[in-house]
Amino acid sequence: MSTPGTSSGAAMGSSNSKSISEGNVAKVENAEQDSQVVQSVLDLRALCRQFYTHCRNPLCNRVLRIDDDLEHIEEWRAGAKTIPPTSHLSAWACQQCKTATCVGCNYLPALNAKSLFTPLGVINHCCDLGRLFTIYFLLCRFDDSQIKPEKKSEPKSKPKKKTPVKGKGSAVPGIGYASGYESVAYGGWGGMMVDEIDDIDFPSEDAMYAYQFHSIMPKPFTPTDDEDKKEKDALMIETLRLIGPCLPDASSPALVESNLFRLGMFFDHVTDLIRNDSISDVTERAELYMELIDFVKAVADIPALAGLLFEERPEKSRSPGLRTLGNPVIQDASVPEISSTSRSASVFSSSKNIYEQVKVFLKLAAKKTLGGPSTQTPVNPLKKETMKLCESVLELHDYLKTRADAEASARPRRPVTLDEESDEYKEAEWAKFQEENRVTFTDEVLVAHRYTTEMANVKTSVAKNRLSTISKEIATLTTSLPAGIFLKIAESRSDVMKVMIVGSEGSPYAGGLFIFDIFLPAEYPLTPPKMAFVLDGNDSDTYSFNPNLHVGGGVCLSILNTWSGMPQEMWQPNKSTLLAVLVSVQAMILGAPFPWHNEPGHENEGESTQVKENKKVVQTKTIRHAMIAWKENTFDNSNAKEHIWEEISRKYFSHNRKKILAEVVEWVPDNKYLLEFSPNLPFPFGPKKGRHKIPSTSNVPPVNLVNKLATILCLPQPFPNPDSDDEDDPKKKKGLLGKLNSLKGKRKVSTEVDIAHHPKKQKSEDSNSFEQKWVYTGAVNQKESRAACKEFGIGAASSIKATIGKLEKHVNEKGKAAKPIMEKWGKMVYVEEPDLEASSAGSSFPGSFNMYSEAEEEDIPDHMTMAPWVD
């Protein structure tokens, strides 16, 4: 392994050079984009100068109020109900003399031979410039609607912050803890506490991750939100209906139209709607989406405009709107910044998600019955409007894909080859595999399922349109599930599922695979799903994986109604979704940086000793049960609950093995037990006495879990044991624990150690040389090590490693340190002097060679030797 300084320096050097290079390219690209934007704005202003904005009556010549959108639309509606129409969208009547003027040609509006019929009225263009003005007018009107709400959203005065009230109530909404110990809190699990440890009380500190919940949970719409959404949809429908008949002929170069669509916000909103990840939302807004699909098809049929559907566009979060950009009064050199460096996906690429959802939705809706051992639940047939919408979505995507494929095949392609063993190739393959296996269907889900009895008892559905709701949710999940979640659904029963979730980075679950069984009861979606944690190892020894993962598999979450949280945190009938449940489990349980904070009464405990110890326990359980156990599983038993996950688990470890091991190695400096783990360690690492905790009686030698994981992942061991060849010879056994085992019973160790009055060497009967030394046990970082040096009255060294070495040398050689300071920053241990350097060289943190303090060494179990693990 390379030294941290060297590898880090090399990485930093290459990263800097790369970032500088990319920065130069970005500057060039941004400069080109900026020049294009400037030219587009100048072209827009040139267009606006062609519009006639004064009354054509020479005796009047007053300025026309062409920005009065609402009144003009109403006047047009009044005259557009007859055939031929008596009004034009490009014509304005002077408020003074009432003379009508066409903004395009400055004449009395004349009827064109071609009239276009819409649900809102008959559209007739006096002239071509009048048609262009109509497009400009409608896009300005839409942009204004997008900008005004942002201005209104700024509060005039900041509301006073409410003083937080301490007491009952969940510190993290939606998670089942911190609300007391009522039996209702644990649903059907009888109020059982996971580890029944309620006698430890620590001072409260700030909660560590309460803020995360609000960023991942969907917020229910308030009445104001619903009204605002309906108003925006109504405006969008009206704009789509009016702007469609204004599009040019297929033979037109459409340069002006393309420029208007690129500068305005309308096409961005079209893309946002197409990108919708909720089939339920799409079907509820069917009228809007039918108009949207018709408009996109119309644009696709015009070759000069079709490119708009396949290009990425800069986001216009800083745009002042099309009306301001086109103001001809503004000097040409004054062009505001309208776009950020980030770019929005194209309409075509955005249509892929809803396309996949609709396919799954139609597949599920086509089933006549919900099969099962004793159930025949009829599926409600789709409404004609819904079926028509779904078919239109499929047709649109297929149509766009055909055009995209044709253009792609016409372009020359340069083959790109990647080394199959390279990290880039592995990441690309894994990303592709995740995309293809995010949601899959198989009746193997029904095998070894936790809710088999409940499934058999569901004969009728209490909730109206239950299966239709389930179908829509599943369709949404096919494109909305976050990375790291794999959902398998029974082919014959869409209400029965299994899910595998990868532990989140930054947590003691990182890299592990955790599995759950899910069942949607007959009352769903009026009641929440049933969910059980089914990974082996949760109940076997020490603490459970998480206080919210109970003995027996119960999952404690407010959104599952298994914890009595606030009303808004509980399951909201017909609003809460399975997606929200899965995201909550991934982020708030399997993403908790300190799982002990989920224990009732300890959510504000900060980083106390108990919190850190529990985190170490969870790390060891994750490696043993969520990593090693999967790799050791041969999947021979087709009736086992893990069998369904064979392909995904093997692919996962094959493509992510380096990343997984690197994550685990980072845990070692703060968790020395990963290098010398045994189930017979003292609690909390060994068995806990009491209910549901079975004490271990077997003598199991310590195992280096990190090396064992590396071996089964076919990677080099990060902490090799140099003495593995001598493991069968007791006299040749090296390592501290082996020596201490031979020393057992021959001398007692005083717990009152004054290093200044102890001889440096102690001789045992086998002539092995030992000494007692003080080792630093504080955090291995610059801040902590420097703080320790300050209290000991010495200066820090240039690196963390050197600082700790200097600190230990000072205490052990001088022997003048005060005992309280020594106990605060370290502890006394026995070490064998000849092996000290070798032991330290194989570890990335001080003191890793010894897992017992001086007090614990008086009674070291006979079985605790340094016998290495052998695969």
The catalytic residues are 556
Rg (alpha carbons) of the chain, rounded to whole number: 35
Handedness of CA 347, 348, 349, 352 (dihedral sign): positive
Beta strands in 189-258, from DSSP E residues, in sequence order? none
Q: Which residues contact 665 (CB under 8 A, 6 or more apart)?
A: 706, 718, 844
What is the distance between the terminal CA atoms of the chain, rounded to a whole angstrom?
22
- 556/558 Cα distance (integer angstroms): 7
Residue 591 identity:
G
- 547/196 Cα distance (integer angstroms): 10
- 12/17 Cα distance (integer angstroms): 9
Q: In the numeric block, which tokens belong to residue 6?
A: 């060297």
Residue 866 identity:
M
380, 467 Cβ separation under 8 angstroms: yes
Q: In the numeric block, which tokens belong to residue 111?
A: 């009827």
- Residue entry with tokens 């506490």: 193
Length, in residues, of the chain: 871
Distances (CA, A) of 446 to 307, 371, 441, 442, 460: 48, 11, 11, 9, 19
Q: In the numeric block, which tokens belong to residue 484?
A: 């790291």
361, 470 Cβ separation under 8 angstroms: no
- 23/467 Cα distance (integer angstroms): 52
Distances (CA, A) of 599 to 151, 178, 529: 44, 7, 23
SS3 letters across 423-476: HHHHHHHHHHHHHHHCEEECHHHHCCCCCHHHHHHCCCCCCCCHHHHHHHHHHH
Handedness of CA 120, 125, 129, 130 (dihedral sign): negative
Of 704, 509, 548, which is closest to residue 626 (Cα–Cα)? 509
DSSP letter assigned to residue 739: H
DSSP letter assigned to residue 315: -
Kindly give the residue spans of alpha helices, DSSP state H, lying in 624-750.
629-632, 646-667, 705-712, 736-743
511, 660 Cβ separation under 8 angstroms: yes
Residue 312 identity:
E
3-state secondary structure of 242: helix
Q: Find the angle CA(413)-CA(418)-CA(419) to the nearest 5 degrees.
A: 155
Query: What are the residues facing 377 on neighbouring strands?
Result: 370
Handedness of CA 355, 360, 363, 368 (dihedral sign): negative
- 534/652 Cα distance (integer angstroms): 19
- 137/103 Cα distance (integer angstroms): 11
- 335/352 Cα distance (integer angstroms): 36
Of 588, 597, 474, 483, which is closest to residue 524 (Cα–Cα)? 474
3-state secondary structure of 782: helix
- List Cβ<8 Å contacts ≥24 apart for 816-819: 816/756, 817/755, 817/774, 817/792, 819/754
Query: What are the residues facing 450 on neighbouring strands?
Result: none
856, 682 Cβ separation under 8 angstroms: yes
DSSP letter assigned to residue 846: T
Of 410, 230, 452, 262, which is closest to residue 339 (Cα–Cα)? 262
